[in-house]
């Protein structure tokens, strides 16, 4: 077997199609299983709205640009990719599955767990949707709740409570077809925000309670973890584009000018406050506003109205009635919105909990071009892909092997 072929087998690729950009990451797993990103590419576009394709041509152009850049950097052709499923397309269903443990000695084996999971998957799911991810909440063995995996324990009746994440087949098929026309083979899909949670959140943080917020251009994905489990997953139809649009319309400036203000001034703050950039007399931010003939007070009013709304929407999902378990870790903020000055501090102030907007550890090891929280989703998908390629058999991985089987089924439906 040639070196090129060997290398090809170790390559994994991820494609994150966001509202503002398509990002491609090509990663290589070395024989020891260490993942190294070897190619990154981005293409900007306006062909997607709330997860739905509005301009397929523009989208494909951006994807191709991202692919070509990543291939050039990696010095390798793009292998089949994992695509991210945006939260807007996802719904979640809770189900319980039961399996009898049949063998002599009655110790639970992996096959029993699979049968219980299959039974749970028989839950009534609308015919136009397919299961794309799942989270195991609890195992019960002969009615007793089990901490961790039940494999190896003695018992006769195994129950499992699972949360299935589904996506509409038509939207997935449209995306896969659209990419297929550009010669991109889609081999797997993963729910973006869950992939990001797997990459960014430590198990200890999930146990203490944490909220992952991916603040993007067009939407804000939220995943709330309490007592180690996913409690809520939501996709809010607002992002930094709303700030840009409000400023442009409200202040009579161009989109480009509004984008510049969001990136450079962000959340306007009183002098010496931990919030974003201050609007002190003679400071660079005042000069920027002056140049655009924008009154600081008006800028402040328009920006804050929308920024506060974004955080209030996040809060509405962290304060769900009846949900137990605290959120001691606070909020982990990723996505390009984490770079908007003062956005994290505003969230901390409004929600009364810490907001960590620092660059996720894994992204620090990436090529400089993607050392940005805007690449969290793409990097997480690539990591997921490498994991599912290299250790699909391993027990206890966060994305279980049988999910690959599940995705294989989705792939067959898409191709049929």
Ligand X SMILES: Nc1ncnc2c1ncn2[C@@H]1O[C@H](COP(=O)(O)OP(=O)(O)OP(=O)(O)O)[C@@H](O)[C@H]1O
> Given the rule CB under 5 A, which residues bind Mg ion?
18, 216, 377
Closest contact distance (angstroms) between CB of 21 and Mg ion is 8
Q: Is the Cβ of residue 81 or residue 389 nearer to Mg ion in the bound state?
A: 81
If we measure between CA atoms, which residue out of 199, 307, 183 comes closest to residue 244?
307
Residue 217 binding: pick among ligand X, Mg ion, none (C-beta 5-8 Å cut-off by kind): ligand X
If we measure between CA atoms, which residue out of 343, 166, 324, 329 comes closest to residue 238?
343
Residue 175 binding: pick among Mg ion, ligand X, none (C-beta 5-8 Å cut-off by kind): none
Site for ligand X in 337-356 (CB under 6 A): 337, 339-340
Closest contact distance (angstroms) between CB of 216 and Mg ion is 4
Site for ligand X in 363-382 (CB under 6 A): 374
Residue 248 binding: pick among ligand X, Mg ion, none (C-beta 5-8 Å cut-off by kind): none
Site string for ligand X, 189-218 (x = CB under 6 A): ---------------------------xxx
Site for ligand X in 213-242 (CB under 6 A): 216-219, 239-240
Q: Is 262 in the site for ligand X (CB under 6 A)?
A: yes
If we measure between CA atoms, which residue out of 176, 222, 193, 246 comes closest to residue 318?
222
Q: Is the Cβ of residue 39 or residue 218 nearer to ligand X in the bound state?
A: 218
Q: Is the Cβ of residue 43 or residue 330 nearer to ligand X in the bound state?
A: 43
3-state SS track over the chain: CCHHHHHHHHEEEEEEECCCEEEEEEEEECCCCCEEEEEEEEEECCCEECCEECCHHHHHHHHHHHHHHHHHHHCCCCCCEEEEECHHHCEEEEEEEEEECCCCCCECCHHHHHHHHHHHHCCCCCCCEEEEEEEEEEEEECCEEECCCCCCCECCEEEEEEEEEEEEHHHHHHHHHHHHHCCCCEEEEEEHHHHHHHHHCCHHHHHHCEEEEEECCCCEEEEEEECCEEEEEEEECCCHHHHHHHHHHHHCCCHHHHHHHHHHCCCCECCCCCCCCECCCCCHHHHHHHHCCCCHHHHHHHHHHHHHHHHHHHHHHHCCCCCCCCCCCEEEEECHHHHCCCHHHHHHHHHCCCEECCCCHHHHCCCHHHCCHHHHHHHHHHHHHHHHHHCCCCCCCCCCHHHHHHHHHHHHHHHC
Q: Is the Cβ of residue 240 or residue 388 nearer to ligand X in the bound state?
A: 240
Distance (Å, whole) CA 81 – CA 88:
21
Q: Is the Cβ of residue 116 or residue 345 nearer to ligand X in the bound state?
A: 345
Closest contact distance (angstroms) between CB of 266 and ligand X is 7
Q: Are 84 and 190 in contact (CB under 8 A)?
A: yes
Q: Is the Cβ of residue 110 or residue 313 nearer to Mg ion in the bound state?
A: 313
Size of the site for ligand X (CB under 6 A): 18
Tell the burial category of 14 from Cβ atoms under 10 Å away from its Cβ (0-12, 13-18, 19+): buried
Q: Is the Cβ of residue 179 or residue 340 nearer to ligand X in the bound state?
A: 340
Site for ligand X in 312-341 (CB under 6 A): 335-337, 339-340
Residue 339 binding: pick among Mg ion, ligand X, none (C-beta 5-8 Å cut-off by kind): ligand X
Closest contact distance (angstroms) between CB of 212 and ligand X is 13
Closest contact distance (angstroms) between CB of 138 and Mg ion is 31
Q: Is 268 in the site for ligand X (CB under 6 A)?
A: no
Q: Is the Cβ of residue 61 or residue 96 nearer to ligand X in the bound state?
A: 61
Distance (Å, whole) CA 371 – CA 216:
16
Residue 79 binding: pick among ligand X, Mg ion, none (C-beta 5-8 Å cut-off by kind): none
Closest contact distance (angstroms) between CB of 86 and Mg ion is 8
Closest contact distance (angstroms) between CB of 371 and ligand X is 11
Q: Is 360 in the site for ligand X (CB under 6 A)?
A: no
Site string for ligand X, 115-154 (x = CB under 6 A): ----------------------------------------
| Residues binding ligand X (CB under 6 A) | 18-21, 216-219, 239-240, 262-263, 335-337, 339-340, 374
């Amino acid at each position: 077997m040639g070196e090129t072929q060997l290398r090809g087998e170790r390559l994994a690729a991820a494609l994150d199609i966001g509202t503002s950009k398509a990002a491609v990451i090509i990663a290589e797993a070395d024989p020891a299983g260490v993942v190294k990103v070897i190619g990154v590419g981005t293409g900007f576009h306006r062909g997607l709205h709330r997860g739905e394709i509005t301009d397929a041509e523009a989208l494909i152009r951006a994807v191709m640009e991202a692919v070509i850049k990543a291939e050039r950097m990696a010095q390798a052709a793009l292998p089949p990719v994992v695509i991210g499923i945006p939260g807007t397309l996802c719904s979640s269903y809770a189900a319980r599955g039961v399996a009898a443990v049949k063998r002599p000695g009655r110790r639970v084996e992996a096959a029993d767990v699979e049968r219980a999971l299959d039974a749970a998957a028989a839950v009534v799911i609308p015919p136009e949707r397919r299961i794309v991810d799942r989270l195991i909440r609890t195992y019960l063995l002969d009615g007793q709740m089990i901490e961790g995996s039940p494999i190896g324990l003695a018992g006769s009746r195994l129950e499992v409570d699972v949360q299935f994440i589904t996506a509409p087949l038509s939207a997935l098929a449209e995306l896969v077809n659209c990419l297929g026309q550009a010669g991109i083979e889609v081999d797997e899909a993963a729910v973006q925000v869950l992939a990001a949670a797997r990459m960014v959140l430590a198990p200890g943080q999930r146990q203490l309670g944490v909220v992952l917020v991916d603040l993007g251009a067009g939407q804000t994905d939220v995943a709330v973890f309490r007592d180690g489990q996913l409690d809520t997953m939501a996709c809010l139809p607002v992002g930094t584009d709303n700030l840009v649009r409000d400023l442009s319309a409200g202040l009579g400036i161009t989109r480009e000018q509004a984008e510049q203000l969001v990136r450079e001034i962000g959340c306007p703050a009183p002098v010496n406050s931990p919030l974003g950039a201050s609007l002190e007399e003679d400071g660079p931010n005042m000069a920027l506003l002056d140049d655009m003939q924008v009154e600081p007070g008006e800028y402040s009013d328009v920006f804050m109205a929308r920024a506060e709304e974004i955080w209030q929407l996040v809060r509405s999902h962290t304060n769900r009635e009846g949900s137990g378990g605290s959120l001691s870790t606070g909020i982990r903020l990723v996505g390009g919105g984490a770079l908007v000055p003062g956005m994290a501090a505003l969230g901390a102030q409004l929600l009364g909990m810490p907001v960590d907007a620092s660059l996720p550890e894994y992204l620090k090891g990436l090529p400089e071009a993607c050392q940005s929280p805007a690449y969290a989703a793409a990097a997480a998908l690539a990591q997921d892909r490498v994991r599912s390629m290299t250790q699909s058999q391993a027990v206890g991985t966060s994305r279980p092997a049988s999910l690959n089987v599940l995705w294989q089924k989705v792939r067959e439906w898409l191709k049929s």
